[in-house]
Each structure stands twice: as structure tokens, then as C-alpha cells.
Amino acid sequence: MQHTYTTRAALVADVPFLWEMLWEAAAVSPEIRGMGRERAFALPDVARYLEDWGRPGDAAVVAVPSDGACLGAAWSRLFPASAPGYGFVAEDIPELGIGVSPQSRGRGIGGAMLEELKVTARAQGYAALSLSVNRGNPARRLYERHGFEDLSISAPTDSSVTLLCRL
Ligand SMILES: CC(C)(COP(=O)(O)OP(=O)(O)OC[C@H]1O[C@@H](n2cnc3c(N)ncnc32)[C@H](O)[C@@H]1OP(=O)(O)O)[C@@H](O)C(=O)NCCC(=O)NCCS
């Protein structure tokens, strides 16, 4: 399919859109979807992915059409071991979050943003990126195609699996 979008680093003005995409990613969980956006964003486990955006290490890309609103976003952030993300591996390995607007999925946008964010993380000097995905989420195939591996970080009985992409 012809590419009708480009990827670029996210700007401060894109932060509200990052929250929209965090909702898309978080709402994969039926429990989270059921509680609605406002209550979900009041949960530290959800909000910590974007709150106080702009901390050292934070990086984000968005996909934009030639004109019009953003189509998707991917971001990465470091977490302390005392307040880890679901896909936490180490304090010096950023964890990735990603979401594409429902009407724009399946056009290669997610893959393009993953590659862009890998380039950014490499330039920042990080050795790897991690993420957490529900074992049944088809997105797992996308991540594995883009170099994310199951290194048995999570227990086989966990409903989600932590994947690592070495940079
Ligand atoms: C996962 C997601 C970011 C991928 O972006 P995308 O632009 O659709 O991805 P691409 O077009 O580059 O690649 C297609 C792949 O994305 C995944 N994908 C496509 N549509 C999807 C959907 N509705 N839900 C989950 N994954 C999807 C599949 O792995 C697909 O690969 P396949 O063709 O082998 O099945 C996007 O679909 C999305 O936001 N999904 C809902 C939220 C989500 O699951 N976020 C990730 C939480 S860990």
C-alpha cells in the first residue's frame, strides 16, 4: 500500500494525542475499557506511561498524514524499579508504548513508528527497548517482526509477556 504518512519526533503540542494513543493501548484490557478513560488515567499503573512527559530519557514519535491530524504515536520512557511499567526490565532500558487510531490500523504505521523509535533509542545510547503485550494480542506478531523477543522475562503463566529488542 502507498505510504500516505510520515513519521517525526513528537512535539509538546502532540502530548494530548499521546494520551489518546495511551488510551487505545490501555483499553485493549476489557477491565480498563470498562472503567472509561477518566478512571483509567487516574490509575498510577496507566498514567505513569505519560505523566509529567518530558523527563530525561523520554522519546516519542508520531505518524502524520500530509495534512490532517496524527494517526498514531509510539513513545519510550525509563521507569524506576520502585514504580515499574508492566514491561519493566531494568532502570536503563526504556519501555515502549504504542497506539494507532482505529481507522488507520493495518497500514504499516505501527511498524514504521517502531523502527523510528528504535533509531531514536539507539541515538540516545540505550542498549535495548522493552514492552509488555497480552499473549493473545495480534500486536505481538508485529513486535516480533521488528526484533522484539521473548527472553523468558515474564512467567509463562502471566497473561502478558515482556519482550526485549536489543539495539
Ligand atoms: C498494535 C498497533 C499499534 C499496530 O499498529 P498498526 O499500524 O496497525 O500496525 P502495522 O500496520 O504496522 O502492522 C500490522 C500488524 O499490527 C498488528 N495489528 C493490526 N491491527 C491490530 C489491531 N486492531 N489490534 C492489535 N494489533 C493489530 C498485527 O500484528 C499486524 O500484523 P499481522 O498483519 O501479521 O496480523 C495498532 O494496531 C493498535 O493501536 N492496536 C490497538 C492497541 C494495541 O493493541 N496496542 C498495543 C498494546 S501492547
For 42-82, how does the pLDDT look when each residue is reduced to its tens digit (9 = 90+)?
A: 999 999 999 999 999 999 999 999 888 999 999 999 999 99
Give the architecture-level CATH label for domain 5-166: 3-Layer(aba) Sandwich (3.40)
Average pLDDT score over residue span 103-114 = 97
Residue 18 pLDDT exceeds 70: yes
The β-bridge partners of 100 are: 72
Q: pLDDT digits over 71-83, tens only? A: 999 999 999 999 9
- Residue 104 CB: number of other CB atoms within 10 A? 17
Q: Whose CA is nearest to atom 10 of ligand 1?
A: 108
Provide the whole-model pTM: 0.95
**75 CB-near residues (< 8 Å, 6+ apart):** 10, 18, 49, 50, 58, 59, 60, 61, 96, 97, 98, 117
Cα(105) to centroid(ligand 1), Å: 6
> Which residues line ligand 1 at a C-beta cut-off of 6 Å?
24-25, 28, 98-100, 105-111, 133, 137-139, 141-142
Average pLDDT score over residue span 123-151 = 97
CB 133 within 8 A of CB 160: yes
Q: In testing the pocket of ligand 1, which one of 6, 23, 105, 132 has its CB within 8 Å of the most ligand atoms?
A: 105
| pLDDT for the residue 67 | 87
**117 CB-near residues (< 8 Å, 6+ apart):** 59, 60, 61, 74, 75, 76, 96, 129
d(C-alpha 93, C-alpha 96), whole Å: 10
